[in-house]
């Protein structure tokens, strides 16, 4: 393949977009609409996941020890707990630290008066934070099997609810993504197909004159890729503006939400969304044009 031929087919790809501007616009609009929905859904989904994750991070299991367990033994058990895959963090609180934190809240600054001994003696504990709440019951079973462990405090309802929500989000998002992609591919391949079928005659002429499949296909495929890129870039710009605006509006208008809900920053969303949308746009444009031209090549 000579460089002149490559340049010529490349130039034809660009020229075709302007020559068939109505078809190009219809294809760009279809891709843009589909990827807009996809991007919007992705942004919402990531925020949901982020909120569930923050809630999960707060879920902990508290481990209390049998009376007489030495500090060294507790630390040894603490190391073992830390080594578990389902554990993200452990915080040790001794009985003295617990009393020092609890006492002033309930009895004021003079909380030690009337209590010659620490009333919380024996409450040395590890607060164990989980990396995955769905693994809580496995961790609890293991903790309860340790002879030095007296009691394990945990909330089964919270863990189950959170892992249930997580699972639901995963299923719903998978379902919506599959439906969105299927609808997108159907709509886009129809648009591309109509656009190329109109130019079937042009393909036939090329084939009669002796053009190779590559020579015929290359401009169409390049055209499909460019349309896909533009179709992906437009919704990215729109989503960027909408998301930024919504984020600012929510954080300024509803300041109390800031401590409750943690929104994902626009940069974080777009680090994934830009390559994903562009890849989808290019992929859809490429596959759509490649497969449709293929149908007309057997002349």
Least gap, CB of 190 to other proteins (angstroms): 24
Site for other proteins in 12-31 (CB under 8 A): 19
Site for other proteins in 154-213 (CB under 8 A): 201-202, 204-213
Q: Quick one: 3 or 157, whose CB is closer to other proteins?
A: 3
Q: For residue 227, what is the enclosing H or E element?
A: helix 213-253
**d(C-alpha 35, C-alpha 6), whole Å:** 31
Which of 35, 17, 28, 30 lies closest to 280, judged by CA? 35
**d(C-alpha 184, C-alpha 195), whole Å:** 16
Q: Quick one: 6 or 121, whose CB is closer to other proteins?
A: 6
Q: Quick one: 226 or 266, whose CB is closer to other proteins?
A: 226
Length of the chain: 299
Residue 123, helix vs strand vs coil: coil
Site for other proteins in 203-262 (CB under 8 A): 204-213, 215
Residue 125: what are its φ and ψ, rounded to 5°? -150, 160
116 sits near other proteins (criterion: CB under 8 A): no
Q: Quick one: 272 or 299, whose CB is closer to other proteins?
A: 299
Q: Quick one: 147 or 210, whose CB is closer to other proteins?
A: 210
Q: For residue 65, what is the enclosing H or E element?
A: strand 60-65
Residue 138 near residue 81, CB atoms below 8 Å:
no
Chain residues that interact with other proteins, rule: CB under 8 A: 1-2, 4-5, 8, 19, 201-202, 204-213, 215, 298-299
């Amino acid at each position: 393949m000579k460089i002149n031929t490559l340049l010529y087919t490349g130039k034809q790809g660009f020229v075709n977009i302007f020559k068939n501007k109505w078809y190009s616009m219809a294809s760009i609009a279809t891709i843009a609409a589909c990827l807009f929905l996809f991007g919007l859904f992705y942004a919402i989904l990531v925020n949901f996941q982020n909120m569930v994750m923050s809630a999960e991070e707060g879920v902990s299991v508290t481990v209390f020890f049998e009376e007489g367990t030495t500090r060294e033994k507790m630390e040894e058990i603490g190391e073992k707990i830390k080594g578990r895959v389902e554990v993200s963090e452990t915080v040790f609180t001794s009985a003295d630290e617990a009393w020092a934190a609890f006492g002033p809240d309930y009895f004021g600054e003079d909380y030690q008066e009337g209590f010659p001994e620490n009333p919380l003696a024996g409450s040395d504990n590890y607060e164990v934070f989980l990396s995955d709440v769905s693994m809580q019951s496995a961790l609890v079973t293991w903790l309860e099997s340790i002879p030095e462990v007296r009691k394990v405090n945990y909330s089964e309802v919270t863990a189950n609810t959170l892992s249930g929500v997580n699972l639901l989000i995963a299923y719903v998002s998978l379902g919506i993504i599959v439906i969105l992609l299927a609808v997108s591919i159907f709509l886009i391949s129809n648009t591309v197909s109509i656009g190329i079928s109109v130019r079937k005659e042009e393909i036939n002429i090329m084939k009669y004159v002796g053009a190779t499949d590559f020579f015929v296909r290359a401009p169409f495929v390049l055209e499909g890729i460019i349309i896909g890129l533009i179709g992906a870039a437009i919704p990215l710009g729109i989503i960027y503006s909408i998301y930024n605006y919504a984020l600012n509006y929510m954080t300024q208008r509803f300041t109390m939400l800031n401590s409750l809900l943690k929104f994902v920053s626009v940069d974080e969303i777009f680090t994934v969304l830009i390559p994903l949308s562009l890849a989808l746009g290019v992929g859809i444009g490429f596959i759509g044009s490649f497969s449709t031209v293929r149908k007309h090549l057997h002349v």
